[in-house]
Structure 1
Amino acid sequence: MPGSSVPGPDAPSQHSGESLPPRAKFAVTAGRVAAAVSRRAGRGSGSVIGGRVALRLDPDLLAKLARHLDVVLVSATNGKTTTTRLIAEALRANGQVVSNALGANMPAGITSALAGRGSARYGVIEVDEKYLASVARDVAPKAIALLNLSRDQLDRAAETRMLAERWREGLAGIEATVIANADDPLVAWAASSSRDVVWVAAGQAWKDDAWSCPSCGGVMHRPGDDWYCAECHFRRPRPAWALHGDHVIDPAGSAWPMSLRLPGRANKANAATSAAVAAVFGVHPKVALDRMSTVAAVAGRYDVVEYAGRQLRLLLAKNPAGWLETFTLIDGPPAPVILSVNALSADGTDTSWLWDVDYGRLAGHPIVVTGQRRLDLAVRLDVAGLRFTVAENLAQAVAACPPGRIEAIANYTAFQQFRRDVRG
């Protein structure tokens, strides 16, 4: 299978030191000034406004910045930021890396990240699902990692099959090696238009967006870990790489142990995909997995922090698939759980997805709900037959929790609010 072997170290980049043309340099400088003004005004990191200013002055800037890098693009509904971080850590075995590590994953944020590339050899870039095809056209990536597709931000994102079709059309003719999750039918269908695909058996816990065939609309049959459509014969491709317990199986059948500090099955799957990506760039699986084992948290996710005299573990869950994976992290003793949901533009304003989450998995845990849409969440928990307490903010929520380390689960802007609260 093309691209499925573990290559040796690739040659050093010949172009990392090349300079930008004058217009691009001016755009980068103007973008940095705009970002600095935004930071001083207390409006965040400034990466988005800086990128917008730079692109307004030079619409081709993203392509010019990426021209001097070997680029990896990472896209999915869940796991983009973590997988980007793991790939970046693995590729640092071969050279310097520039990455949008904090998750600004639309063209403006990506442009800001690459503007600080310095002498980096690699660009490891997280990309919003809607922008994957256009960013790929601009940056001519060497590799693209596709992890999963599921329902998310229903007010702004396309239906999942439409996103898969957009990927499929955008990836047709792309020269990049595509590293794709063979267990997600939507991803497999999207990636199958590519010339060079490395399939990874990374698993798929959430299946409710892939019961109909993306190719013909027929009913998908899903016996065990397999899947196929009996009507058009579209079926799970044979993987070259696989996650097997605490090991990653490479194309030669060798099993490489992983000892991740990041919790959960989903992060093991992210690491398996990351190892397959790293191999495209000549990083041996053992080296890649050893480097990934040093990552303990990603942009605040999984951090254990002290707040109001209590220990909290901060967990991000943005959609039904993400909540399902997150709930598996708190199985066992009935630890207190704080749930927080907002519905701002960055979260998606439609909260109907709350009814797709199986909150019954929290039975037996003391639950406190907070956040902008805490009453929506309260209604959902009440229908699920769960007992809970409603709190105005994090401080009240923590005070309402019984003893024990608290699991604090929040969607995107609620998670950022938690991080601000615990920092004081």
Structure 2
Amino acid sequence: MAGNSDPLTPRAKLAVTAGKAVAAASRAAGRGSGSVIGGRVALKLDPDLLARLAQNLDVVLVSATNGKTTTTRLIAEALRAAGEVVSNALGANMPAGITSALAGGSEAKFGVIEVDEKYLAGVARDTDPKCIALLNLSRDQLDRAAETRMLAENWREGLAGTKAVVVANCDDPLVVWAASSSPNVIWVAAGQMWKDDAWSCPSCGGVMQRPGDDWFCGECGFRRPTPTWALSGDHVLDPHGSAWPIHLQLPGRANKANAASSAAVAAVFGVPPQVALERMYQVQAVAGRYDVVQFEGRDLRLLLAKNPAGWLETFSLIDPPPAPVILSVNARGADGTDTSWLWDVDYTRLTGHPIFVIGDRKLDLAVRLEVANQHFQVCENLDQAVQLCPPGRIEVIANYTAFQDLRRRVGN
């Protein structure tokens, strides 16, 4: 539990100071927040620093392919009702970035930490979390990450016997398989729009049956657990059957699902659903996502979508046709260099929208849209695309580095 004794050795304090100095120098040089380089330097000086920094905190880890940055933010907001929170709110979610974030929160009671899927087991070992939230697993960065079944296996092995309370989405068979090795699991019915990574049973490889919202394997009996928390329309149902209204400034069904999981996590720390959900209303945008910005006399709404599951959810929340849509795709290191995932996205959902295509891989995207029978124009840059857009608010959907490029261009 959180206390006030100082867990930091002189070496650890030196590592923290050096990390902060390097991060400040990186920021001054205009190279971003500096959190990753600062964390790397600090961990070089004290390899046990992450464990030391987490020692006095009640830690929540959040991992998933989609929604982890937003859910981390919602949980952090909810837990502030019970004490000070330190969090890697900007999404630097590997050990160096996490170490940097925790180094900045000496007075905090709670650490709410987003963790890259590949690093979850190691970070859980270092931080001894009280709670771990698992939201979904879907294909992403095919050149970098193991395929989803292997990630689920890594989670399952890494979390086996964990003392943490695991809050897991019972609608995602891969998440259920991963969480089932843990002795203390709270199941949340958060829904799953993208199902194409879970047609075979993660337990035996058999074909998954999916009647309605249920799922089970006809061969080995692996099946959807009974949830104690559930998203039901615009409400969260708690374990007592009470329905609590969700009021968010963030759009879409996916964010209601994130709020349901966040309410279940907050309850582990004694924050009641009503209080947790009221606090979540404060969150307007998350690291630029969902922001509406003025650019060239137009309103642009910035939406991040990094993989097929994310694009599917994003298409469900854009303004109806004929709202213009700008799509931007890069394939740099942070995005994954393989763009074959574009073929898994159902672009027919954009029928009726004027579409404008930009980004490093605009021609890959153009070929995909051509096959989907969509009307689009390829543009050189954001400025040209905005000039060509018909009137009305413009929806701008981009993957990771393309999104950062857009934010720089619009001064967000």
Once structures 1 and 2 are overlaid, which stretch shifts more, 66-75 or 13-22? Answer: 13-22
Pick from 109, 116, 123 the counterpart of residue 121 of structure 1: 109
What's the offset of the Cα at 1:258? 1.1
Once structures 1 and 2 are overlaid, which stretch shifts more, 15-24 or 366-375? Answer: 15-24
What's the offset of the Cα at 1:295? 0.9
> Gaps spanning 5+ residues in structure 2: where?
none
What's the offset of the Cα at 1:18? 2.4
What's the offset of the Cα at 1:382? 0.5
What's the offset of the Cα at 1:333? 3.5
Q: CA 1:224 to 1:16, structure 2 compared with 1: closer, same or farther past 3 Å?
A: farther
Match of 2:206 in 1: 218
Q: CA 1:225 to 1:331, structure 2 compared with 1: closer, same or farther past 3 Å?
A: farther
Pick from 280, 283, 287 the counterpart of residue 295 of structure 1: 283
Query: Following the alignment from structure 1 to structure 2, what is the Cα–Cα distance between the partners of residues 331 and 361?
Result: 12
Residues 226-305 of structure 1: pairs in structure 2 closer than 5 A: 226-305=214-293
What's the offset of the Cα at 1:347? 0.3
Q: What is the letter of the counterpart of residue 75 of structure 1?
A: S
Residues 391-406 of structure 1: pairs in structure 2 closer than 5 A: 391-406=379-394
Query: Following the alignment from structure 2 to structure 1, what is the Cα–Cα distance between the partners of residues 165 and 106?
Result: 25
SS where residue 191 of structure 2 aligns?
coil
What's the offset of the Cα at 1:19? 4.7
Match of 1:54 in 2: 42
Pick from 26, 33, 39 the counterpart of residue 38 of structure 1: 26
What's the offset of the Cα at 1:200? 0.1
SS where residue 152 of structure 2 aligns?
helix
What's the offset of the Cα at 1:334? 1.7
What is the TM-score of this pair, normalised by structure 1?
A: 0.96
- Contact 1:183–1:236 under 8 Å retained in 2: yes
Cα deviation, 1:364-415, whole Å, max 9, x if unaligned, reads: 0000000000000000001111110111111111111010000000000000
Runs of 4+ aligned residues of structure 1 deviating over 4 Å after TM superposition are none
Query: Following the alignment from structure 2 to structure 1, what is the Cα–Cα distance between the partners of residues 176 and 18?
Result: 41
Residues 374-385 of structure 1: pairs in structure 2 closer than 5 A: 374-385=362-373
Cα deviation, 1:188-242, whole Å, max 9, x if unaligned, reads: 0000000100000000000000000000000000011000001000000000000
- Contact 1:16–1:69 under 8 Å retained in 2: no
What's the offset of the Cα at 1:17? 5.2
Pick from 389, 402, 412 the counterpart of residue 414 of structure 1: 402
- Contact 2:2–2:109 under 8 Å retained in 1: no
- Contact 2:2–2:57 under 8 Å retained in 1: no
Pick from 337, 340, 343 the counterpart of residue 349 of structure 1: 337
Q: What is the letter of the counterpart of residue 70 of structure 1?
A: D
Match of 1:145 in 2: 133
Query: Following the alignment from structure 2 to structure 1, what is the Cα–Cα distance between the partners of residues 6 and 166?
Result: 27
Pick from 362, 371, 374 the counterpart of residue 359 of structure 2: 371
Query: Following the alignment from structure 2 to structure 1, what is the Cα–Cα distance between the partners of residues 47 and 213?
Result: 45
Query: Following the alignment from structure 2 to structure 1, what is the Cα–Cα distance between the partners of residues 394 and 5?
Result: 48
Query: Following the alignment from structure 1 to structure 2, what is the Cα–Cα distance between the partners of residues 272 and 363?
Result: 31
Q: What is the letter of the counterpart of residue 393 of structure 1?
A: N
- Contact 2:7–2:55 under 8 Å retained in 1: no
Pick from 179, 182, 189 the counterpart of residue 177 of structure 2: 189
Query: Following the alignment from structure 1 to structure 2, what is the Cα–Cα distance between the partners of residues 16 and 345?
Result: 41
SS where residue 330 of structure 1 aligns?
coil
Query: Following the alignment from structure 1 to structure 2, what is the Cα–Cα distance between the partners of residues 414 and 111?
Result: 26
Query: Following the alignment from structure 2 to structure 1, what is the Cα–Cα distance between the partners of residues 82 and 374?
Result: 51
Match of 1:8 in 2: none
Q: Percent of counterpart pairs with the same letter?
A: 79
User: How many residues of Structure 1 are paired with residues of Structure 2 in the alignment?
Assistant: 412
Match of 2:348 in 1: 360
